[in-house]
Amino acid sequence: MDAVTRHLPRLRWQLMQWQQRLGVPGLLALGVMAAALAIDVAIIYPAGRSDDLRRQELQAGIAEHPQEVQVTEPAVVERLPSAEDFAPRLEKLLGILTQRGFIIEQTTLAYSAPGDTGLQRLDAEIPLVGPYILLREALADLAKEPAVRIENVTLERKEITSGMLSIGLKVSVLGVVE
């Protein structure tokens, strides 16, 4: 007789004893714990070990070839206009809008300095009145200006037959603080 078949009746008897003591939920819990242990031993531990070995190899390779790092200001910051030029830049933006035929109402300005980046930001809320047809071209011209971002555009038509819109335009202008 084979060794496994000799012990098979005893294993069945042990399983029935455990089933009586633990019940079906207990046996399922025991099976889940055994499966988790088997997964840990067979899959997770070897993968973690190989990850550790790869990490050590990479760190050794990096240590062999150190790179000289020079910290410089980003090129974008060097090319930004100065914050002192906000007034002429804003006049240019308003000039673009008036050249396109828009009527500019009371403009609201707000200055801020985002973090300690060496930048200053001018937020301008510009209420306009004008035709929808010219709006796309005007916005394209504004977007071409350096360090200008169109934040928000709202459109409102008072009457369905009217060709004129009430436009709420919010733009941000960035400048380098020197």
In the predicted model, what is the mean pLDDT of residues 119-146? 88
Domain ranges of the chain: 1-71, 75-176
Domain 75-176 sits in CATH 3.30.70.60: yes
Count the neighbouring beta carbons within 10 Å of the beta carbon of residue 138: 21
Residue 83 has pLDDT above 80, yes or no: no
pLDDT for residue 39: 92
Tokens of 111: 């200055």
H runs (alpha helix) in 100-173: 132-144
10 Å CB burial of residue 94 (0-12, 13-18, 19+) is middle
Pull the structure tokens for residue 15: 């399983």
**SS3 of 147, please?**
coil
**Between residues 102 and 83, which one has the greater pLDDT?**
102
Q: What is the pLDDT of residue 69?
A: 58
Distance of CA 111 to the CA centre of its chain: 25
Q: Which residues, in sequence order, are CB contacts of 175 under 8 Å at separation 6+?
A: 80, 81, 82, 83, 84, 85, 86, 89, 119, 120, 121, 122, 147
Q: Above 70 in pLDDT, residue 54? A: yes
**pTM across the whole model:** 0.53
Residue-averaged pLDDT of the chain: 84
pLDDT at residue 152, as a whole number: 92
